[in-house]
Homo-oligomer: A and B are copies of this chain.
Amino acid sequence: MGALLYVVRRRRRAREKARLASGEASAANKASRSQAATQRATASAAKTAASVYGSSSGQRASVLRQSSSFNLGKSNVDIGGVLGMDIGGTLAKLVYFEKKEPPGGMVRTCSRDPLVTMKRNLSLGDLNTREQKEALMQFYTFMDTQEQFGKAGVRDEHLAYYSHELGGQLHFFRFETRLMDQAIELISSSTIHNSIKALGCTGGGAYKFEDFFQKRMGIRMLQMDEMASLVRGLQFCIANIPGECYAFEPEPVKGTGANGKGEEEPMASEQDTFRNMRMRHMSELREKVDYSHKVHRSRTELLQSYPALVVSIGSGVSILKVDGPAKFERVSGSSIGGGTYWGLCRLLTGATDYDDSLDLADQGESDRVDMLVGDIYGHGYNKFQLSSNTLASSFGKLVTKEDPREGVTNEDVSKALIVMVTMNIGQVAYLNAKLYDTRRIYFVGNFLRHNNISAQRLAYAIAYWSGGEMEALFFEHEGYLGALGAFLSSGYEDPDGSSDEES
Residues of A within 8 A of B (CB): 88-90, 176-178, 203-205, 207-210, 225-227, 314-316, 330, 332, 334-340, 342-344, 346-348, 369-371, 373, 375-379, 381, 383-384, 391-401, 404-405, 413, 420, 423-424, 427-428, 431-432, 434-435, 503
CB pair B315–A89 under 8 Å, yes or no, is no
CB pair A395–B431 under 8 Å, yes or no, is no
CB pair A424–B332 under 8 Å, yes or no, is no
Besides A343-B393, A347-B395, A383-B503, 15 new A-B residue pairs in contact (Cβ under 8 A), listed by A number: A88-B376, A89-B371, A89-B376, A176-B400, A315-B371, A315-B376, A316-B392, A334-B424, A335-B370, A335-B424, A336-B336, A337-B396, A340-B393, A346-B404, A427-B428
State how many angstroms separate the Cβ of A206 from the closest Cβ of chain B.
Answer: 9
Please indicate the chain B residues that have their CB under 8 angstroms from the CB of A338 in the complex.
393
Please indicate the chain B residues that have their CB under 8 angstroms from the CB of A203 in the complex.
376
A375 to B343, CA, bound (A): 15
Total copies of this chain within the assembly = 2
Given contacts A89-B376, A90-B399, A431-B435, contact A337 B208 (CB under 8 A): no
Please indicate the chain B residues that have their CB under 8 angstroms from the CB of A340 in the complex.
393-396, 420
CB pair A336–B394 under 8 Å, yes or no, is yes
Name the residue of chain B whose CB is nearest to the CB of A89. Answer: B376
A43 to B404, CA, bound (A): 53
State how many angstroms separate the Cβ of A178 from the closest Cβ of chain B.
Answer: 4
A393 to B184, CA, bound (A): 25
Closest 8 CB pairs of A and B: A339-B396, A204-B376, A343-B395, A339-B393, A343-B398, A208-B378, A204-B377, A315-B393
